[in-house]
């Protein structure tokens, strides 16, 4: 099977083949998803150690070549002594210079060969994703939560939910679950003011800034590049240089991807830039609609480890059981508010 469902992989798989986006080759792992993660970490440490040894040796050779260059320069010094014993110097000097050239050539060849054989640590491994959340103040409190009271929504003859109420308090990671078509995305859009509710009341403290990740990428101009998308966002108060620095810190993208139109990038890459966009907006509360869709597994691991550190509350709709278990601390089944129940 081909799947991104980590929970399913962990429960059922005993052998995993991963297609690398960099080498375009399959790498095979025995065991389930947890074994895969452990082996990937061991791979990274091995490659990192080899690369560090290679770089250390190249630096040593470079210093040796610099020393030999200084020594060669010394042959041109002390011309008076050379004149006093010209024949002896010529023979001795020729031998020294020949030996010097041989050593230099050997070192240069060794350095060239090392440079050609440098172990590449894949981008997946090099990622040191540490998100500096621009909002470090939790503007919600126990007294002023985000609150939904008796929210109802219908489309034509179908009622999605009726009299739905919830409170989102500081520190909560609330996941809304339900079958496809049960109204999860619609509820998030109602909270964001994109879709009106038929009935009910929503209370959000005025100073709280919501960061919204939509599921269908409806709000992205695909003619823009990654850089342009972030530069043109009125809520991101960063210069181009700062944006490039942030993107380098996140380590999500290959350099060439930053300057291509979004239409030429994969859905997964566009999904990641959406998430970065929400983070750079400095949101106090994250509203995430299926945040793990289309994203590669190692990126998900990095993203989730940072979402756990997010200082504000998170409200998400997700089918990803692995994500729910790892990140969320509260679950609400939207189908409990369906009239048929």
Higher pLDDT, 317 or 253: 317
Higher pLDDT, 217 or 86: 217
> Count H helices, E strands: the chain?
11, 10
Q: What is the pLDDT of residue 140?
A: 66
Phi and psi at residue 261, in whole multiples of 5°?
A: -60, 145
Predicted TM-score of the model (pTM): 0.76
Q: What tens digit of pLDDT does each residue of 232-241 get?
A: 998 888 888 8
Q: What tens digit of pLDDT does each residue of 185-215 get?
A: 999 999 999 999 999 999 998 888 898 998 8
Q: Are 150 and 199 in contact (CB under 8 A)?
A: yes
Q: 37-51, 169-183, 212-226: which range is least confident on average?
A: 212-226
Q: What is the pLDDT of residue 157?
A: 82
Helix (H) or strand (E) holding 104: helix 86-116
* Mean of pLDDT values over 10-33: 90
Among residues 236, 271, 247, 275, which one has the least CA distance to residue 134? Answer: 236
* Mean of pLDDT values over 48-57: 90
The pairing of beta strand 314-317 with beta strand 173-177: parallel
Q: 66-70, 131-135, 155-159, 287-291: which range is least confident on average?
A: 131-135
pLDDT score of 258 more than 50: yes
pLDDT score of 30 more than 90: yes
Q: What tens digit of pLDDT does each residue of 300-319 get?
A: 888 888 888 888 899 999 99
Q: What is the pLDDT of residue 142?
A: 65
* Mean of pLDDT values over 179-187: 91
* Mean of pLDDT values over 323-329: 92
pLDDT score of 334 more than 80: yes
Q: Which residue has the tokens 């059922």?
A: 12
Q: Are 338 and 180 in contact (CB under 8 A)?
A: no
Helix (H) or strand (E) holding 71: helix 33-74
* Mean of pLDDT values over 16-28: 86
The chain-wide mean pLDDT, for the chain, equals: 83
Q: What tens digit of pLDDT does each residue of 73-131 get?
A: 555 555 445 555 555 555 566 666 777 778 888 888 888 888 888 887 776 665 555 66
Q: What is the pLDDT of residue 93?
A: 61
Q: What is the pLDDT of residue 198?
A: 93
**Alpha-carbon torsion (298, 299, 302, 308), positive or negative:** negative
């Amino acid at each position: 099977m081909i799947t991104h469902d980590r929970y399913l992989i962990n429960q059922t798989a005993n052998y995993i083949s991963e297609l690398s986006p960099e080498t375009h080759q399959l790498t095979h792992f025995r065991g389930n998803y947890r074994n895969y993660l452990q082996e990937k970490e061991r791979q990274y440490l091995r490659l990192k150690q080899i690369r560090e040894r290679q770089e250390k040796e190249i630096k040593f050779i470079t210093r040796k070549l610099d020393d030999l260059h200084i020594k060669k320069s010394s042959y041109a010094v002390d011309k008076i002594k050379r004149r006093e014993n010209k024949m002896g110097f010529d023979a001795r000097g020729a031998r020294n210079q020949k030996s010097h050239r041989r050593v230099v050539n050997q070192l240069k060849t060794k350095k060239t060969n090392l440079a050609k054989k440098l172990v590449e640590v894949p981008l997946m491994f090099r990622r040191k994703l540490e998100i500096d959340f621009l909002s470090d103040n939790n503007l919600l409190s126990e007294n002023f939560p985000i609150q939904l009271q008796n929210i109802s929504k219908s489309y034509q003859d179908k009622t999605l939910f009726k009299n739905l109420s919830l409170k989102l308090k500081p520190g909560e990671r609330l996941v809304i679950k339900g079958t496809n078509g049960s109204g999860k995305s619609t509820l998030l859009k109602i909270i964001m003011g994109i879709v009106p509710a038929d009935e009910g009341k929503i209370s959000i403290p005025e100073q709280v800034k919501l960061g919204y990740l939509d599921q269908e990428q409806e709000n992205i101009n695909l003619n823009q590049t990654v850089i342009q998308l972030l530069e043109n966002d009125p809520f991101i108060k960063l210069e181009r240089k700062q944006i490039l620095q942030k993107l380098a810190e996140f380590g999500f993208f290959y350099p060439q991807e930053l300057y291509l139109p979004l239409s030429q990038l994969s859905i997964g890459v566009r999904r990641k830039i959406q998430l970065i966009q929400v983070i750079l907006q400095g949101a106090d509360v994250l509203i995430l609609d299926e945040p793990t869709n289309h994203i590669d597994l190692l990126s998900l691991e990095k993203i989730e480890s940072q979402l756990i550190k997010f200082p504000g509350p998170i409200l998400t709709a997700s089918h990803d059981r692995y994500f729910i278990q790892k990140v969320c601390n509260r679950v609400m089944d939207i189908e409990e508010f369906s009239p048929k129940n």
